[in-house]
Amino acid sequence: MFIIVNTIIKVFPLYYLRKEKIKMNDVYFTGFLFLLFVIWIHMNRQSLVGNLKIVHDSLLYGQNRTPIMNIVSNIKKSIFFNEVNKG
């Protein structure tokens, strides 16, 4: 699942944007998104290191505590459930 999720969220966008030039507005927007993320973490009484631990543990132990891993897990369960019910 780790490879599937990382391919979807990292490789496909990089491939799609491979010919685009990086502009200063892109850099500013990325910084703004990171700032929003840090504010969100603070509002939810988490820390950046704690959030990384949640992601690490979710991937390592299959806990599916991150949104994308949870979605992929639910899709996988749904496909398996449909295949079992057909047969």
Written as tens digits, the pLDDT of the chain (87 aa) is: 677 777 888 888 889 989 999 999 999 999 999 999 889 888 988 888 888 888 888 878 877 777 777 787 888 888 877 666 665
pLDDT at 80: 75
Instruction: Note the pLDDT of residue 84.
Output: 65
Q: What is the pLDDT of residue 30?
A: 94
CB 66 within 8 A of CB 6: no
As given in the structure block, the two tokens for residue 81 are 């459930």
pLDDT at residue 19, rounded to an integer: 92
> What is the chain's Cα-based Rg?
17
Q: Residue 43 CB: number of other CB atoms within 10 A?
A: 8
